[in-house]
Structure 1
Amino acid sequence: MSMDPRKVIVCRCENVTLADVLNAIESGIDNLELLKRKLRIGMGQCQGQTCLLIVAGILMKKTGKSFEEIFMPRNRPPISPVKIKYFLSGDKA
């Protein structure tokens, strides 16, 4: 029995299905960073702790690329740093 890719959820936080991922790959997206930008995988509450590895596996299988070629998306620091004291004391920045 095969599963319908439209019903297989690969990113619960952003409700991304296997079909969404496969369609994006077939449209020419061949790395995890671009998939993250297009589908928002890894941008939900869990920050990709589950879905990024799942999607990386799908991407490797479909493109033939190695893990090192497709993983990891870049983390982006805040535009301007905020001092922790503003979060602790309730003062406004």
Structure 2
Amino acid sequence: MNDRNRDIGEFIPQPDDDMIVCRCEEITKGEIRKAVHDGMFTLTEIRRYLRTGMGLCQGQTCTKLVKAIVSRELGVKPSELEPATGRAPMRPIEMYILARDKEETK
């Protein structure tokens, strides 16, 4: 879905916009809908903007819901949306752990 010149209409709030879709990052349906109307048409853009799918579950609970909301707002089939770019989760590591590993390999 790369046709950014399409007019998808104005953002009209819905009664269930306060429903939490991404529990890990506490993102609501309304925030996702608003992001689409602000020009984020891909799941990767939504993820980078709102952090959907970047919490503890890594999108296991919200990805399908986010995709359904975005496709509904754009008026396309969910299969027409390209999947979000996936990456391995990163965690900070303390330097002494890296140093210890280096010493053990000698």
Scaled to the shorter chain, the TM-score interval is: 0.7 to 0.9
In structure 2, the CA distance between the partners of 1:71 and 1:5, relative to structure 1 (3 Å rule), is: same
Task: Return structure 1 stretches of 4+ with deviation > 4 angstroms.
Answer: none
Which of the numbers 51, 55, 66 marks the counterpart of 2:62? 51
1:19 aligns with 2:30: yes
Gap runs ≥5 in structure 2: 1-13, 90-96
Pairs within 5 Å for 1:1-93: 3-6=15-18, 8-76=19-87, 91-93=100-102
Percent identity over paired residues: 36
Q: CA deviation at 1:5?
A: 1.0
Give the distance between the partners of 2:57 and 2:15, measured in 1 at CA.
25
Count, aligned residues: 82
Gap runs ≥5 in structure 1: 79-85
TM-score by length of 2: 0.65
Give the distance between the partners of 1:45 and 1:77, measured in 2 at CA.
12
Whose radius of gyration is greater, 1 or 2? 2
Deviation string for 1:20-74 (max 9, x for gaps)? 1011011111111100000000000000011110010011111022323324111
Quick one: which amino acid aligns to residue 92 of structure 1? D
| RMSD (CA atoms) | 2.6
Structure 1, 50-59 or 68-77: larger mean CA deviation: 68-77
